[in-house]
Structure 1
């Protein structure tokens, strides 16, 4: 498995999310400026709602920026144990311990991108090939670690 390729796909997805949030924030700010009228309280209420939406989008953007920074810290070198940056193949699937993001289809393989803080990653942490783990009454046997 090529971890570099997986990491690049994730970085591209994160970059797209960042652009989307930045565009949404800019559009919301522009519509906030367009709501000026002589309606008094209604104007202020509408403007406050738009400001709350901008704040909400900013919080989401900050989370995605943290994910981008975290991805920059990952190594693509082969891993011996399940840890951040490891690609872990179990009898139940392929798990890339990186950021929680949509699944990736690569070379006919479905790769689940999971956060190091996820329950599965916490149970996998420090495990090696041939070991088994159990989570929610489901046992995973670790076949390979890349």
Structure 2
């Protein structure tokens, strides 16, 4: 079981891990977009309609990557506003322990492990967070017919 001083240290660690993962994701999208644009330029030939179809497919891929990049940049923007201060209620930046697991509310990047503790990172837009937003320790909520109790919030 983790004590509060360890968890408050963990919140800054958690935030750092999430920020690093988001930065890596942004760099990856930027690299993929640049590569796709380069291959789009390389496909120029005298193939007529096939060339245009191929170009359009590459442009759709670039648009898709750009959309994902924009979503990730938005997550990064949200993360910049989050501090590792302790929370008394469920809100953005809170580390929430329920009887079902440990959740860090910031950006949804999946499960991370900090000091051998599995933590699910979730966005404020997720149904789980919407169900528990604003609640405090000891309060219950239900999602998908599963009842959960908030045990602690940091």
TM-score for both structures, normalised by structure 1: 0.96
Distance in 1 of aligned mates of 2:50 and 2:37: 18
| 1:65 shift after superposition | 0.4
| 1:87 shift after superposition | 0.4
The number of aligned residues is: 146
Distance in 1 of aligned mates of 2:38 and 2:141: 51
Alignment-derived partner of residue 65 in structure 1:
73
1:129 to 129, 137, 141: 137
User: For 1:89, what is the secondary structure of its paired residue?
Assistant: strand
Alignment-derived partner of residue 140 in structure 1:
148
Alignment-derived partner of residue 42 in structure 2:
34
| 1:131 shift after superposition | 1.3
Stretches of structure 2 lacking an aligned partner (at least 5 in a row) = 1-6
User: After TM superposition, what 4+ stretches of structure 1 lie above 4 angstroms from structure 2?
Assistant: none
CA-to-aligned-CA distance 1:63-119 (integer Å, 9 cap, x gap): 000000011011211000011110001111001111111211111111011111111
Distance in 1 of aligned mates of 2:47 and 2:128: 53
Distance in 1 of aligned mates of 2:67 and 2:144: 31
Distance in 1 of aligned mates of 2:129 and 2:110: 16
Stretches of structure 1 lacking an aligned partner (at least 5 in a row) = none
User: For 2:73, what is the secondary structure of its paired residue?
Assistant: helix
User: For 1:82, what is the secondary structure of its paired residue?
Assistant: coil
User: For 2:15, what is the secondary structure of its paired residue?
Assistant: helix
| 1:138 shift after superposition | 1.3
Distance in 2 of aligned mates of 1:16 and 1:42: 35
User: For 2:44, what is the secondary structure of its paired residue?
Assistant: coil
Comparing 134-143 with 16-25, which one deviates more in the overlay? 134-143
